[in-house]
């Protein structure tokens, strides 16, 4: 008997020791902490303790008493379809529910602009004059369309960039009216998500639509039956407290966590005199910024610094919550009152909407911010309440009597961040609650945070891990608790630990008209049939066009179509893989060819996938020392360069070595030859060309001004992000470079972009033989880099002309900062107008035009040379930087359109050298005297710009630019880079003068005529080592 007792005692001690290794601390008593602690306590043998800083458990499940009536001011409603774990949890706890109401209203300007509710026709036309308002019917029409098609975004693959666009971009790209945004979506989302309008416009559209699906709000009428906790949420939180008993510590904030030598964690209270020892696992069910603060104290060497960065990137915003009975914070008309009431100012909503997207008809298709945006213009202040607060456009008031079936004659409301405080005598309570902000930074951080779950016994849970709902919070707690213990929830499926989140899109679209027969027929005819036809054309075209190299086209179903023989072509021998997300890509490309490919990429229909091995990239295109620029939004930008080089390599293999000019070669029929080999695209190419000719002419009276405005006036702050910091030159730099050693081709570069731009400026001024004190005209001065150099280095009297108001403003400030206002004068003026002025005739000793000739246009080249000669002194010199097109392609080029001259630089034309020389001869007495080709340096310059642009993505987005702009700008920079890298576009420095120009005598000196001795292989090797 004694032996048996001894064995039992030893087994008990062994079990006790095992249990001591299963102690879990839960920090945070909100829904995530409660669900995790409940499961570990009720369904496992883990020893769990919960620590909550507040006096009561629940977090946003916050119940308060108003004159004897319990009301909830945080978590209020749920439904059986989209809250599966919470509903089953409540059943297990014995928590009762009752029906609720989820009606919605919007009231702007005190009901003067618009006022409506979803409570039948009487509510819809609460303001009777809306019956006669066309904009109101436009809003209703767009609402129905949005409700029918919005959920489709949730069905996109996670790597599809269109799934990650902002709300502002979604509204613009899908053609929704201002009335729809102003009267419905924007005020509703700003109010319900407790976010500023600026944040809503930058809010991920998929997150927003997921919210609407989850709350069954993608229908105006016949919404499902919502539920609320009978007796308020305190009923369920108190049951959890009973189950946890003394293991639930309230009014117990945790300030630090330390890991001891025995590998257990010790938690410290607010003054660190309170210690809670012996925990092997910690679940942080508090807000991530709070978790970061706790982990930052006393956990040196335990927590990864990157983890702390991720936690800080999951952002929260405080919101002031008033519980009151003041009806002035409700819609003006009683029959517009609803459970959820959005109240705001129409002007604020319209202003923010207007700034969120480019107006139709603007030449640059990817510009979201309008023009001249600066960071200060889009940042909002940090006030929480009041008419100038963070929610100055709209706020929300909940009518609790209707929402929670209150048994009282007194109206009780909850208002978040109201524009005016409720009457003090009618105010019952004021609290501050924090809500997660689901911006791109938060979404990226929470995705990466999954990799840290459970490492070193540390876990994270919260509603921020989903859509921010109570179901997300409890599921997150359950997921951590079940992963930690390996014990499934009692109601989980046979092979599951937790009930999976509902498929929001599928649930919504089952009841959507999109799935009826008429809709399917329409989509088949308007979408699937064009794709099927155009896909066959594109496949056939690629089989003929891609002979060398390897192009892979990967579709959503996993299928891959390959083209080419695999021999090296372009920049390397590795395949270029297009990941096609939307097969409308085939339609766009088939109908518009070059422009269709560009527009398809801008729309997010495809990206180029990165190579698996960094060593497979060409070392100049992607140096090993540079950061990887690949992202979901843009794919691999270096991959875009590789794609263009592959296309160029296959295009140029077909070019004959010599093709004599034929009669009619310059006819308008050549407008379609840029799409030769792809017959279906010829009509689209011709239409694009006609639009180009009719709307993008560089005429003196408005045409040039409009085209310059479309690009250069986008935003000075934008260009500062990627141009060199010293000169702000938006033109080809000249790097320190030598010929690459065999077998590599091209040049090897070194030095910074800033050094290269200074070298470029000095080269231009040296080619112009600039002398101290001369008068210099800078045509198209940009941000004043060359003008400043001429004034500060040579003391020149500089006059600069431009058509960009934004450039002039910044350039003048730079001149003032440099203290050379007495030497430099800038003016907004067309070069033709300027050169006609009598006082300017023969005035300038030197004229420099650095990459301005491209904005002149082929039809106006003669006007440029005529104008320059009018103001050039007799012995003067013109130095021109010109991007040029090879003569062999020029005739076709000027009778067609491409991505650059239509979207990026409207109306532009990169002339051929022959066109420049011929036009100069016909329209002036100027003669070409000297040429330098620095095209390979331009490829390197563009690569520097692209890297800086992508590294500054957060700054670009802060200016109001969106995904379309990010893709458009990457397409532009890589498109141009490939042309210069392949030497199929040239960058020439040209020197013109009249005959007998004595100022050019130095160009005849031996040191100018002869070239420097080439480097030996040993010298090249030493150069590379340096």
Q: Phi and psi (nearest 5°) for 591?
A: -90, -25
For 110, the token pair is 């005190």
Q: Checking DSSP bridges between strand 281-284 and strand 23-27, what pairing results, if any? A: parallel
Exposure string of 656-666, with b = 16+ CB inside 10 Å and e = fewer, is eeeeeeeeeee
Cα 506 to Cα 16, 155, 210, 514: the distances in Å are: 49, 8, 11, 12
* Cβ neighbours of 801 (radius 10 Å): 21
The three-point CA angle 351-355-357 to 5° equals 130
Q: Give 639's DSSP letter.
A: H
Write the CB contacts of 438 (distance below 8 Å, at least 6 apart in sequence): 193, 203, 204, 207, 467, 468
- CB distance 591 to 684 below 8 Å: yes
Q: What gap in Å lies between CA 666 and CA 646, rounded to an integer?
A: 28
Cβ(703)–Cβ(696) under 8 Å?
Answer: yes
What would the two tokens of residue 409 be?
């004659």
Task: Report which secondary-structure segment, H or E, holds 545.
Answer: helix 529-545
Which helix or strand (DSSP H or E) is residue 268 part of? strand 265-268
- The SS3 call for residue 150 is helix
Q: Which residues contact 62 (CB under 8 A, 6 or more apart)?
A: 72, 73, 74, 75, 233, 431, 433
* Cα angle, residue 827 at apex, residues 821 and 833 outer, rounded to 5°: 145
CB 463 within 8 A of CB 436: yes
* Ramachandran region, residue 372 (left: φ > 0; alpha: ψ -120 to 50; beta: rest): left
Residue 976 catalytic?
yes
Residues 6+ positions from 722 with CB-CB distance below 8 Å: 945, 946, 948, 949, 952
- Cα-based angle 264, 265, 267 (whole degrees, multiple of 5): 150
Cis peptide before 743 (omega within 30 of 0): yes
Beta bridge partners of 827: 801
The span from the CA of 140 to the CA of 180, in Å, is 7
Q: In sequence order, which residues have a C-beta less than 8 Å from that of residue 848 and are 6 or more positions away?
A: 764, 765, 768, 776, 777, 778, 779, 786, 790, 878, 879, 880
Nearest to 95 by CA among 56, 63, 55, 49: 63
Q: Which of 589, 590, 612, 608 is nearest to 599 (CA)?
A: 589
Give ∠ CA 605-611-615 in degrees, rounded to 5. 155
Cβ atoms of residues 195 and 392 within 8 Å: no
Strand partners of residue 265: 259, 279
**Cβ proximity of 484 and 281 under 8 Å:** yes
Alpha carbon separation from 200 to 15, 185, 206, 214 (Å, rounded): 54, 10, 12, 18
The Cα–Cα gap between 108 and 348 comes to 10
From 474, 976, 997, 1004, active-site residue? 976
List the structure tokens of 529.
Answer: 């049939």
Between the CA of residue 101 and those of 228, 253, 401, 402, 692, what are the distances in Å? Answer: 9, 36, 10, 6, 55
Reading the block at residue 780, the tokens are 């198209």
Catalytic residues: 976
């Amino acid at each position: 008997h004694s032996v048996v007792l001894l064995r039992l005692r030893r087994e008990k001690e062994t079990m006790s020791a095992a249990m001591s290794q299963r102690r879990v601390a839960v920090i945070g008593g909100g829904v995530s902490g409660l669900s995790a602690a409940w499961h570990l306590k009720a369904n496992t043998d883990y020893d769990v303790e919960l620590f909550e800083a507040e006096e009561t458990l629940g977090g946003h499940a916050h119940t308060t008493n108003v004159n004897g009536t319990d009301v909830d001011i945080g978590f209020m409603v749920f439904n059986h379809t989209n809250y599966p774990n919470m509903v089953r949890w409540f059943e297990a706890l014995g928590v009762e529910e009752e029906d609720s109401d989820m009606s919605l209203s919007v009231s702007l300007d005190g009901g003067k602009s618009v006022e409506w509710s979803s409570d039948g026709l009487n509510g819809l036309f609460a303001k009777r004059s809306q019956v006669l308002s066309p904009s109101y019917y436009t809003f209703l029409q767009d609402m129905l369309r949005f409700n029918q098609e919005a959920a489709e975004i949730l069905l996109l693959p996670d790597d599809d960039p269109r799934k990650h666009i902002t709300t502002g971009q979604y509204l613009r790209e899908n053609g929704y009216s201002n009335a729809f945004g102003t009267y419905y979506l924007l005020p509703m989302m700003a109010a319900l998500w407790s976010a500023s309008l600026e944040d809503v416009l930058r809010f991920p559209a998929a997150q927003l639509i997921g919210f609407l699906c989850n709350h069954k709000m993608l229908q105006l009428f016949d919404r499902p039956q919502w539920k609320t906790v009978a007796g308020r949420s305190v009923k369920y939180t108190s049951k959890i407290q009973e189950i946890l008993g003394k293991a639930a510590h309230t009014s117990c904030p945790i300030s630090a966590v330390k890991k001891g030598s025995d590998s257990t964690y010790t938690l410290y209270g607010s003054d660190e005199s309170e210690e809670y020892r012996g925990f092997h696992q910690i679940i942080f069910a508090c807000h991530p910024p709070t978790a970061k603060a706790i982990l930052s104290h006393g956990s040196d060497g335990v927590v990864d610094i990157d983890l702390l960065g991720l936690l800080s990137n999951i952002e929260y915003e405080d919101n002031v919550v008033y519980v009151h009975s003041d009806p002035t914070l409700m819609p003006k008309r009683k029959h517009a009152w609803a459970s959820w009431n959005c109240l705001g100012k129409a002007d604020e909503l319209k202003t923010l909407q207007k700034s969120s997207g480019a107006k139709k008809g603007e030449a640059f298709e990817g510009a979201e911010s309008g023009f001249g945006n600066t960071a200060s213009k889009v940042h909002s202040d940090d006030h929480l309440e009041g008419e100038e607060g963070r929610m100055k456009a709209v706020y929300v008031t909940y009518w609790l009597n209707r929402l929670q079936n209150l048994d009282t004659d007194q109206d009780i409301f909850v208002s978040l961040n109201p524009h005016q405080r409720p009457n003090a005598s009618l105010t019952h309570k004021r609290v501050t609650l924090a809500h997660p902000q689901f911006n791109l930074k938060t979404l990226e951080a929470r995705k990466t945070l999954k990799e840290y779950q459970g490492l070193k016994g540390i876990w994270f849970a919260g509603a921020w891990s989903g859509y921010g709902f109570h179901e997300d919070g409890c599921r997150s707690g359950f997921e951590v608790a079940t992963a930690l213990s390996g014990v499934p929830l009692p109601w989980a499926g046979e092979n599951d630990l937790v009930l999976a989140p509902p498929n929001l899109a599928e649930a919504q679209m089952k009841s959507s008209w999109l799935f009826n027969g008429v809709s399917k027929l329409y989509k088949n005819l308007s979408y699937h049939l064009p794709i099927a036809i155009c896909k066959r054309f594109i496949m056939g075209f690629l089989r003929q066009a891609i002979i060398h190299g390897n192009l892979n086209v990967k579709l959503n179903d996993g299928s891959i179509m390959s083209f080419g023989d695999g021999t090296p072509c372009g920049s390397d021998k590795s395949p270029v893989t297009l990941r096609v997300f939307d097969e409308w890509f085939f339609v766009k490309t088939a109908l518009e060819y070059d422009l269709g490919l560009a527009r398809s990429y801008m729309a997010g229909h495809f990206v180029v996938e990165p190579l698996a091995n960094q060593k497979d990239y060409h070392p100049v295109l992607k140096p090993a020392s540079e950061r990887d620029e690949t992202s979901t939004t843009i794919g691999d930008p270096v991959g875009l360069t590789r794609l263009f080089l592959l296309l160029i390599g296959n295009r140029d293999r077909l070019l004959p070595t010599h093709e004599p000019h034929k009669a009619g070669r310059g006819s308008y029929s050549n407008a379609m030859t840029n799409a030769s080999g792809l017959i279906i695209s010829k009509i689209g190419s011709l239409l694009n060309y006609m639009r180009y000719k009719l709307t993008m002419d560089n005429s003196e009276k408005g045409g040039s001004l409009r085209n310059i405005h479309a690009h250069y006036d986008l935003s000075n702050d934008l260009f500062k992000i990627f141009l060199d910091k010293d000169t702000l030159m938006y033109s080809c730099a000249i790097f320190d470079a030598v010929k690459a050693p065999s077998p590599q081709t091209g040049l090897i570069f070194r030095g910074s972009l800033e050094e290269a731009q200074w070298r470029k400026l000095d080269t231009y001024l040296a080619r112009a033989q600039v002398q101290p004190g001369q008068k210099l005209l800078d045509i198209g001065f940009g941000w004043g880099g060359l003008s400043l150099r001429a004034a500060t280095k040579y003391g020149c009297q500089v006059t600069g002309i431009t058509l960009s108001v934004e450039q002039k403003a910044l350039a003048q400030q730079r001149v003032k900062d440099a203290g050379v206002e007495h030497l430099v004068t800038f003016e907004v003026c067309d070069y033709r107008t300027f050169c006609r002025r009598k006082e300017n005739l023969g005035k300038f000793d030197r004229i420099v035009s650095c990459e301005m000739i491209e904005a002149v246009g082929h039809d106006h080249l003669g006007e440029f040379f005529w104008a320059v000669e009018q103001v050039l002194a007799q012995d003067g010199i013109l130095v021109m930087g010109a991007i040029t097109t090879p003569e062999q392609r020029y005739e076709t080029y000027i009778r067609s359109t491409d991505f650059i001259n239509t979207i990026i630089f409207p109306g532009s034309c990169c002339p051929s050298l022959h066109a420049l020389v011929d036009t100069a001869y016909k329209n002036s007495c100027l003669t070409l005297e000297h040429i330098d080709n620095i095209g390979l340096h331009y490829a390197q310059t563009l690569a520097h710009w692209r890297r800086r642009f992508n590294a500054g993505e957060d700054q670009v987005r802060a200016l109001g630019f969106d995904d379309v702009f990010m893709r458009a700008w990457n397409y532009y920079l890589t498109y141009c880079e490939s042309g210069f890298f392949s030497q199929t576009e040239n960058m020439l420095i040209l020197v013109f003068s009249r005959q007998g120009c004595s100022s050019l005598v130095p160009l005849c000196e031996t040191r100018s005529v002869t070239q420097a001795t080439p480097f030996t292989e040993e010298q090249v090797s030493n150069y590379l080592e340096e």
